[in-house]
Amino acid sequence: MKAIIRTVCGDIEPESTGFGLPHEHLLTFPPVRVRPDIDFRLPSVEMAIEEVKMFKQAGGSIIGELTTDGYGRNVRGLREISEKTGVHILSTSGYIMEKLFPNKTFNSNLDELAELFVNDVTVGMDGTDIKAGWVKCGTSDEKMTRTEEKVIRAAARTHHKTGVSVTTHTTNGSMAFNQVNVLFSEQVPPERICIGHVDRRSLCIGFLQKLAKTGVFVEFDNVGKFKYYPDSLRVEMIKQLIADGHVKQILISDDNGRQSYFKSYGGGRGLEYIPTHFAALMREMGIIDEDIHQMTILNPRKLMAFEPRM
């Protein structure tokens, strides 16, 4: 069967996509008990449209929106954003980590969770016909709870039933290998796995090289967040992974999940930062255009595309 990318506006041909950000947030409303700071809330469709238009003007084509059920997922709003900007958007099934799990995560068994995720991909999310383009799972800081492992295994089984990729949340980069081990034990191919947040607390070349050797996608998705590391260090790590032969496994994104990160909310860098400033920094530091094209267009396209199995 021919590969497709499943967006909030329907299935598209992978070749129709250009510059992609595989890990972003456009609309969120996390539980106040966990994230009381209003900065974490992105409620405005209108401001998101303004932000995505800036991304498009900078050359952007497609966005992976990783807000899950339990974190304020708004698929109707995402479809409106896509329709009014012309930028493709993927929404996601799955859950982030235990402290953000809705109650049904704990009350459902593995098969029930997998059935729920598969339904999101094949029928629609949140009572709509808007289908998920992939499935998300994650772990807590320095631990994987039993319920998190259950969600990861349900995500793996969703891959097998539908073909979609699995994209993960690591808290500050921790538990990455534990996630890989569980997904591998469920026979998920490495090229269908993306490990997120490798550049928060874990921007160490030994860690990155070991992770890349497993064959999974390695996602630098905190670009521009200097409170973790300077972007110049991110580029140095990326250059080393390219030199090691891993350019086809590298993904780059912002994980913009706060008002203070969005120009449309009066904040900082915005979604245009990577296609403008960070791409320029990579060129300035010696990364060739062919490799930038691979990491920002071909790699997101490969991860997002799948051959439907049902």
pLDDT category at 107 given cuts 50, 70, 90 is very high
Length of the chain: 310
Q: What is the mean pLDDT of the chain?
A: 97
Q: What is the pLDDT of residues 49-74, one digit of tens each?
A: 999 999 999 999 999 999 999 999 99
Residue 257 has pLDDT above 90, yes or no: yes
Q: Which two tokens stand for residue 206?
A: 């030994």
For the chain, give the percent of residues with pLDDT over 90.
96
What mean pLDDT comes out for the span 7-19? 98
pLDDT category at 131 given cuts 50, 70, 90 is very high
Q: What is the pLDDT of residues 145-174, one digit of tens each?
A: 999 999 999 999 999 999 999 999 999 999
pLDDT at 201: 84
Q: What is the pLDDT of residues 198-213, one digit of tens each?
A: 998 889 999 999 999 9
- Which amino acid, 189? P
Residue 246 has pLDDT above 90, yes or no: yes
Domains of the chain, each with CATH number or no CATH = 18-304 (3.20.20.140)
pLDDT at 200: 87
Residue 27 DSSP symbol: S
Concatenating the DSSP letter of every residue in 232-300 gives HHHHHHHHHHHHTT-GGGEEE-----SGGG-GGGT-SS-TTHIIIIIHHHHHHTT--HHHHHIIIIIHH
d(C-alpha 182, C-alpha 178), whole Å: 6
First to last CA, the chain: 10
pLDDT at 72: 96
The closest of 275, 277, 209, 214 to 243, measured between CA atoms, is 209
How crowded is residue 172: how many other Cβ atoms within 10 Å of its Cβ? 15
d(C-alpha 93, C-alpha 107), whole Å: 17
d(C-alpha 70, C-alpha 95), whole Å: 7
What mean pLDDT comes out for the span 244-272? 96
d(C-alpha 147, C-alpha 107), whole Å: 10
Q: Which residue is it, tokens 């590969």?
A: 3
**Strand stretches in 73-225, DSSP E:** 88-90, 92-94, 134-138, 166-169, 193-195, 217-220
